[in-house]
Structure 1
Amino acid sequence: MANIKLMIGTVYGNAEEVAVACAENLNAAGHQVALLRRPELSDLLAADTDVLLFCSSTTGQGELPDEMLHLYLQMKDACPPLPQLRYGLIGLGDSGYEEFAGGPKMLNELLFELQLKCVGIPLYIDACDTMDPVAAALTWLDAWQQQL
């Protein structure tokens, strides 16, 4: 089983609700999960990190929420390549805005640049199409866990 650090970036709490449900599911499957509501670069660089799972909403302007933006800027400025780390990404957004899931997509690009290995395909949940983001995330999570 994996030691998973679940990094949360939320504006109104939806991403946190999704992250908590994912953490409960992962713990029930035997993984060790640390929920990080204010993730720091040191959390990524810690020796006990096996897998990262990012769960972030998007601001109205297509940006990352403050706590995830803080981590993003730390990674952009001071993070070495991390080819030994694997990650997953759940991005929440609203296609009614011009930059649908812009922040999570920007984060995914940076993770690729830093050579982290994406497990599966990132999930982008559209609030216009999905009434229950938790259910959508848990369906994706089942397939994601099998690829770990």
Structure 2
Amino acid sequence: MSDPIRQLQVSAQNAARHLTGAQADRVVVFDLAGRKLLDMAVPVTSVAAGGGGGEEPEAAEAGWSERKGRVYFDGTLVPLSGRKLDLLKVLIREDVADVDQLRPAWKGSVVEVKTIQWTVGELKKSLKELFGDFPGDIIVPTGSGYSLQLR
């Protein structure tokens, strides 16, 4: 991901873990004269705090990434599987995913809209448990589908 703010947040998390073994919760930047230039919260997630199963990609990336069929957020494995994982992959790739774009998560099976809606709701619950500090809904309905808000 090319967003410099997200990259700064991930770098702060990685530096804090490396230096202290703790999770960073703020990024504060000063200039050489000691003036505060930046003071912002770093999204702290329960996934990043220790729920990832110890598997991380080679290099931490800001935001969502996918490697070898697994999904990572800020370089930490997101522990999902099955349809929820397949739906999340579609939502990561698409700004807005409509029902037809979500159907491949059922791998060729005929699936009704209500089933897709229910599974998206279950994915929302799982993501809220993993990213409980994220303000608001992580997945929101749009006029034509669903949008992943946590980027």
Same fold (TM over 0.5): no
Higher relative contact order (CA 8 A, sep 6+): 1
TM-score (norm 1): 0.29
TM-score by length of 2: 0.28
Q: Which has the larger radius of gyration?
A: 2
